[in-house]
Structure 1
């Protein structure tokens, strides 16, 4: 059995940074041979059976919980080797399609292992349901789902390395400690001790996973906590707020706040209706 739909788009939809063009489902995927590739990027997700992808002279197995990403116009073949090979697929376009693919971690055509099967399957089923509905603005809904899919793929793909979600889990003890003790002085040494690593290795992990240094992350957390306090306690002085979220001096707090928010704490309060 196969089910598929190709979406008709309004001029508005084709102006979206990325939009879905079609979606489908095969209970038993047939052999596909494309010597010149396909004109649009594609994402396929295996839910049963086993197949293989032939790409650039290499052959990769594709089992349940694995996805295939294919860049536009890249020659490829795929076929079942243990039937029924059940596949959901979708393709997409847009001016930012390539950039969004890269941000999702889909840096090359190939096979990707998914760490959250149910999440990705939910997106694929929902996309197909909307595509088949023929409802007004179905294209917009599908494109919204596509954006969510790409964001969630970011969190749960692995390519011979831990997924982003797994990396964040590794830093969970540090994140939790910061959340509980942000109002106190926190040193790199005590954060590193939580993971049993050196301070240098902790900084390396943060740069790799969070793209900033541990103290930068801590200060971001403190700034967010300060915004919550300023909106809840409008009569509290800025200096008091700074102290309660872990900053030694109001001037340093104000400098970091301005750098992070593009405005002073006082302006933030005023723009949010505080006196």
Structure 2
């Protein structure tokens, strides 16, 4: 469900913060905005997964993750699964830039949510306020302000996999990796989904992305493993290894140590949510 709110002015002055659009349990379609929007936008992924590209930086958005978009930032987002469902709010006003800077929301991009219920509940509150009184702009703005204040303590920016210039063949290959990294995925499988030969894909991928297909697949698995180690501190490492596409726990530990500088167990003991920035 999406609600678009009409702007309200007080005399000649716009409200310092006003909500312009709300989305709740919205099955997200593909959006491509070369010039961005005039709004700030916060999204939270309730189900499924999607791909976000911001200024040529590509990120995958999964459950318990979301993303922030600043005004006039080039962006594209599209579903990677049929059930990609999001909640979101779009807002603007003269106080927004200063407020977001003070709250540490400096960058457009993907974020991890340590308390998913908080975002969902605040969006639901704004929907209830709107349904009760569609003219209660002050109440909805106050609820959005509460959302931003609380959200600042519940988010951490997620690292992105890489930056590259768009290419449809490479896009298809990366989409295959993002959707199937948990499988025993081969170069042949990825090339087949991209619709080209193995040799052509490997050459084009390295030229476009600056790394090999195999390295990109490995880093994708490591990034998702790091996230699971932090999200699910009691989950067996062997299960995480399997879920992230590694052939065994020992193989996972070896690759993880090479890329992260420590074993998965040590990383889990010493890391915290802020380490997702690194």
* TM range, smaller chain: 0.5 to 0.7
Residue 115 of structure 1, CA deviation? 0.5
**1:23–1:131 contact (8 Å) kept in structure 2:** no
Which sits farther off after the overlay, 103-112 or 17-26? 17-26
1:154 equivalenced with 2:152 (yes/no): yes
Q: CA distance change for structure 1 residues 28 and 14 in 2, over 3 Å: closer, same or farther? A: farther
Q: CA deviation at 1:67?
A: 1.8
Aligned length: 159
Q: Distance in 2 between matches of 1:14 and 1:20?
A: 15
Matched, 1:48 2:47: yes
Q: Which runs of 5+ in 1 are unaligned?
A: 162-275
Secondary structure in 1 matching 2:83: strand
Runs of 4+ in 1 over 6 A off after TM superposition: none
Q: Distance in 2 between matches of 1:129 and 1:110?
A: 28
Distance in 2, matches of 1:118 and 1:89, equals 13
Give the CA RMSD over aligned residues.
2.1
- TM-score, normalised to structure 2's length? 0.53
Structure 2 unaligned spans of 5+: 160-278
Q: Against the structure 1 CA distance between its residues 158 and 105, is the aligned structure 2 distance closer, same or farther, given a 3 Å change threshold?
A: same
Distance 1:158 1:11, change over 3 A: same
CA contact (8 A) 2:68 2:110 kept: yes
- Show the counterpart of 1:116: 115
CA spacing shift, 1:158–1:13, aligned 2, 3 Å: farther
Question: Structure 1 residues 132, 104: CA separation in 2 closer, same or farther (over 3 Å shift)?
Answer: farther
CA contact (8 A) 1:13 1:19 kept: no
After superposition, the Cα gap between the structure-2 partners of 1:79 and 1:44, relative to the gap in structure 1 and judged at 3 Å, is: same
Report the Cα distance in structure 2 between the residues aligned to 1:130 and 1:33, rounded to whole angstroms: 30
Aligned to 2:101: 102
Q: How does 1:20-99 map to 2 (within 5 A)?
A: 20-99=19-98
- 1:1-275 matched pairs, under 5 angstroms: 2-11=1-10, 15-136=14-135, 138-159=136-157
- Write the distance in 2 (CA, Å) between the matches of 1:13 and 1:3: 28
Task: After TM superposition, give the deviation of residue 134 of structure 1 in Å.
Answer: 4.3
**Structure 2 vs 1, CA of residues 35 and 15 (structure 1 numbering), >3 Å: closer, same or farther?**
closer
